[in-house]
């Protein structure tokens, strides 16, 4: 038995020096520790990679260049996301000696979201999202419609098979991404149509005027939804209160740059749930994101009482949609 101050010499000491340090970058880092980027390798992470691709399309819509997003679940559980935005840039980045599209798809922290002139507001993982999707996909097909031309490129587990090339001419514009989640990474590879539909409906509520469709080709007959809300989160307030007794049908609406807020009075006997949300939630759904405060409504006091303002606030249903200008704004 060794005592304090003695050295155990019969136990083999494993060397721990510079050679023990492993540096993982880019694709290898994402595939080695995917949960650090998408939350998990189970059902949550599986659906999150779809949200990341859709968020890029929503960013185009927020910038004013896109009004339609289409999502399809195919028979093999692959996903296609199509938008009618500007299309990922295809010109060569001289420093990288390859197309901008390939850089976006294969380099972490590469994208237009870091340039405030390209995107004033944006969501997702800011230059990490779509490359993560690529790295975690068994295969991915990229198709870009830009400047009257069609460009295509194939990837296998994040590695380009061939450089981006022009394959034809078109009158369309936008981006189409089809990917199959890698079964070597994910423990669950079957997408939930209902879960994806719920998230896409929230996107449509929070971004008024955007038409988002989803279809499930695995079902017979094929299931599909179309989400389009001209009133945005004003309609979401109506959706929240559809089974509640309200004092007026039309929500009160306030709007200013980067922030949208709508509210509605509830009657004396209604149980109120207050919900706050940001424009592009990540892992939480719109209905539960940030905080949920249940309050039992009481009769409103007279305006002259000190508690009147507080009671007014507590008695309204008030989702908040806020566009984050940068990461710094999140903590303010």
At 73, the pLDDT band (50, 70, 90 cuts) reads very high
- Cα distances (angstroms) measured from residue 164 to each of 56, 161, 306: 20, 9, 66
Euclidean distance between the first and final Cα of the chain, in Å? 58
Statement: residue 322 has pLDDT above 90: no
Per-residue DSSP letter, 92: E
249-304 pLDDT, tens digit per residue, is 788 777 766 544 444 444 443 333 333 333 444 444 444 433 333 333 334 444 55
Pick the more confident residue, 305 or 159: 159
Residue 212 has pLDDT above 90, yes or no: yes
Give the torsion sign (CA, 53, 59, 65, 71): positive
- Phi (first) and psi of residue 139, to 5 degrees: -150, 155
User: What are the residues whose beta carbons fall under 8 Å from the beta carbon of 172, sequence distance 6 or more?
Assistant: 84, 145
pLDDT at 92: 94
What's the whole-model pTM score? 0.72
Instruction: State residue 324's pLDDT score.
Output: 44
Which stretches of 248-323 are DSSP H helices? 308-314
Q: How far is CA 53 from CA 27, 172, 196, 273, 307, in A?
A: 17, 19, 12, 31, 46
Composition of the chain by helix, strand, coil, percent to 5:
25, 25, 50
Q: What rounded mean pLDDT belongs to the chain? A: 77
Full set of structural domains in the chain with CATH: 26-227 (3.30.565.10), 233-330 (no CATH)
Which helix H or strand E contains 149, and what residues bound it?
Answer: strand 149-156
Cα-flanking dihedrals φ and ψ of residue 110, to 5°?
A: -120, 125
Task: Give the residue-averaged pLDDT of 18-22.
Answer: 68
| C-alpha neighbours within 13 Å on the C-beta side of residue 204 | 22
Q: Is 79 exposed, middle or buried (0-12, 13-18, 19+ CB in 10 A)?
A: buried
* Alpha helices for 33-139 (secondary structure H): 35-38, 43-62, 100-106, 129-135
Which string of b and e fits 112-126 if b means at least 16 CB within 10 Å? Answer: bbeeeeebebbbbbb
Decide: 279 and 286 in contact? Cβ < 8 Å: no
* pLDDT for 213 beyond 90: yes
């Amino acid at each position: 038995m060794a005592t304090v101050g003695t050295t155990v010499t019969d136990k083999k000491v494993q060397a721990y020096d510079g050679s023990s340090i492993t540096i993982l970058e880019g694709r290898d880092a994402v595939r080695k520790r995917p949960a650090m980027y998408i939350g998990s390798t189970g059902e949550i992470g599986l659906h999150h990679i779809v949200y990341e691709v859709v968020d890029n399309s929503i960013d185009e819509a927020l910038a004013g260049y896109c009004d339609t997003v289409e999502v399809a679940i195919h028979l093999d559980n692959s996903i296609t996301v199509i938008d009618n935005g500007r299309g990922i840039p295809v010109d060569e980045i001289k420093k990288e000696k390859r197309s901008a599209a390939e850089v976006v798809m294969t380099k972490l922290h590469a994208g237009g979201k870091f340039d405030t002139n390209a995107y004033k507001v944006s969501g997702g993982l800011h230059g990490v999202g779509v490359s993560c999707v690529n790295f975690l996909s068994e295969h991915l097909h990229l198709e870009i419609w830009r400047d009257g031309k069609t460009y295509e490129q194939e990837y296998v587990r994040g590695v380009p098979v061939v450089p981006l090339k022009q394959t034809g001419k078109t009158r369309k514009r936008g981006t189409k991404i089809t990917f199959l989640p890698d079964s070597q990474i994910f423990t669950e590879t079957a997408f939930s149509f209902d879960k994806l539909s719920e998230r896409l409906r929230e996107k449509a509520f929070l971004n008024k005027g955007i038409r988002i469709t989803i279809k499930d080709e695995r079902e017979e007959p094929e299931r599909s939804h179309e989400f389009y809300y001209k009133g945005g989160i004003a309609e979401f307030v109506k959706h929240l209160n559809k089974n509640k007794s309200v004092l007026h049908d039309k929500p009160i609406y306030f709007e200013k740059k980067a922030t949208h807020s709508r509210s509605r009075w509830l009657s004396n006997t209604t149980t109120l749930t207050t919900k706050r949300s940001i424009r592009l939630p990540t892992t939480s759904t719109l209905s539960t994101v940030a905080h949920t405060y249940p309050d039992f409504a009481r009769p409103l006091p007279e305006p002259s009482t000190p508690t009147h303002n507080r009671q007014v606030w507590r008695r309204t249903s008030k989702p908040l949609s806020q566009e984050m200008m940068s990461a710094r704004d999140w903590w303010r």
